[in-house]
Amino acid sequence: QVQLVESGGGLVQAGGSLRLSCVGSGRTFSTLAMGWFRQVPGKEREFVAAIGWIAGITTYADSVKGRFTISRDNAKNTVYLQMNNLKPEDTAVYYCAVRHGPTAQAMGDYGYWGQGTQVTVSS
């Protein structure tokens, strides 16, 4: 049974930084693509960033390019999301997910999800 557990969310002022972590268990994640999504109440979950099983293959939503960085540590089955220069519109519940195959931006392409961690950015 694959499990994903996010951590690192919290309350931060605009312009601040947070680093989210997602630890996986239940199998080896080194050959899986890992991604981050976010969701606010009343809206669809949206893609934020993804990283392939080959480090260095990353993709980002336009809204976070240049501010967020996704990385992974395969030895720890962990994916990170470094978020800098946070804005109030980044406020959301952030979810990590994994999939077989290359990186993808559609929710339906991911088979396993974490429970989410709340990020709140105050103005």
| pLDDT bracket for residue 15 (50, 70, 90) | very high
Report CA-CA distances (Å) from 119 to 5, 65, 93, 111: 15, 18, 6, 23
Res 55 pLDDT > 70: no
Return the closest-CA partner of residue 72 out of 118, 30, 26: 30
Using DSSP's 3-state secondary structure scheme, residue 123 falls into coil
What value does the mean pLDDT take over residues 17-41?
93
Res 3 pLDDT > 90: yes
Tell me the average pLDDT of the chain.
94
pLDDT in tens, 60-103: 999 999 999 999 998 899 999 999 999 999 999 999 999 988 89
Q: What is the pLDDT of residue 28?
A: 79
Comparing 13-17, 27-31, 33-37, the range with the smallest average pLDDT is: 27-31
Is the model more confident about 55 or about 50? 50
